[in-house]
Structure 1
Amino acid sequence: MPLLAPPEPKSLNDLALLLGAEVVGDGEFTVTAVAHPVFAPHRETLALAMDEGSHALLPRSHAGAAVVAAGMEIDTERFAGGLAVEGRHRVALAVLTRLFSPPLHFTPGVHPSAVVDPAAKIGDGASVGPLCVVGPDARVGPGAVLLSQVTVAAGAEVGAGSILHPGVRVGENCVIGQGCILHHNASVGADGFSFVTAGESSVESARRTGEVTAFNFDIRRIDSLGNVIVGDNVEIGAGACIDRGTLGPTRIGDGTKIDN
């Protein structure tokens, strides 16, 4: 079962209503995809050409329609129609890419290859994909999706509707809020990697004397006793790492977006 239905064909008239755009040419022309002008795979594609560079490439496009910034020309002999967008063009880009984004495929329930501790709780409609591990007392909220090879360690929580892409790791007692997206191989809740020397460290010695003469031989580890608490509607990029705090939680606020 897909998270999103496959993209449905949309007429230019429909898209104009969503974007607040002006229709040029045949408003009943339907498109099934959006793409850069030179990467349009077929005529049922809407070419995105809202800047001067991409607009100049429209004569090379296989698309049947184009979306441009207000004031730019659309060749209605070459294209069945198009849209002219006022204002912030990247807002229109956000709407269009969301509409035509390929769906994620998953099956609600627990895949036979997943390992779920008997003390874990899996919410209604949640999906635990192939080779996932869910530890004791961990909770996966309703409608949450663990796509494959995801680890949710003991006592950790994944909120309702969150999506964890392949390879994500959520450490012990860490919390992922509702509606979050964690991309491939993101790590939440690893040790904070803190150390201290028994005596004056080489850096402290260099600061005091102005010379680099000391060496660190007796290095002692400081364990991280806190956890990580990620708020709602947070997106964390592929390979990003968020360590737990030494004595208290590391907090990521609602709506935060972290790149990789």
Structure 2
Amino acid sequence: MQHNPVTVVTGGSRGIGAAISTRLAADGHHIALGYHSDADAAEKAAAQVRATGAATGARCVTVQMDTAEETDVDRLFETAAAELGPVTGLVNNAGIGAPVGPLAEADVAAMRRALDVNVLGYLLCARRAIRDMTRTGAGGGIVNISSAAATLGAPGEYVHYAAAKGAVDTMTVGLSKEVAADGIRVNAVAPGVIWTEFHADPERPAKLAAGIPLARAGRPDEIAAAVAWLLSDDASYATGTILRVAGGR
């Protein structure tokens, strides 16, 4: 792998995505940070990435885009290649949890949008990453951000989101076998309850702590550490792995 790997991180403007971008910069990755709408948050995250990456020579570019739109995905990867170099990594992180509540009350349009981002967006980004990595012949790594909800089901909250993350797990396993011969490793990290802005109720992580064996919600940097390992040479024999980081849930 080149001295500074080039990694695309979707949904990188806040929460887990921002933590992943910062951690990877500390490890020497150039970061192409994709974000949907909040330019101020994206620039704040990028400033942190650049500051952290100063010691390793890591650089960062931001691209406003929608992972569910093919042309936007192509523009993200083209910008990464043009400004940072050949893409060697992808972190599929952008996701939507809404609508929140029982499935019987869910809005169809909101569910469709969530599935577009949570499933189609991952597939489109992975497809483009594989095309680029295969063309260069250098291989690379893909890490999909799944969720413990994929096996817990998230009843009464967002069953559709849990179903989407189940699809992400299946995609991870199947794709890892499909592209192994091309030197591309595909893994996933499945977070549990994490302190981020993802939750409709800001106090939800604290309220759920009693039901977690480690008795607390996780931090974004704890997820970032798992992603960094999976993209590192230390994980060179790991592919098709779904690494659960959920405090025991």
Query: Shorter-chain TM-score: what band?
Result: under 0.3
Higher helix share: 2
**TM-score, structure 2 normalization:** 0.23
Higher strand share: 1
The answer to which structure, 1 or 2, has the higher relative contact order (CA under 8 A, 6+ apart) is: 2
**TM-score, structure 1 normalization:** 0.23
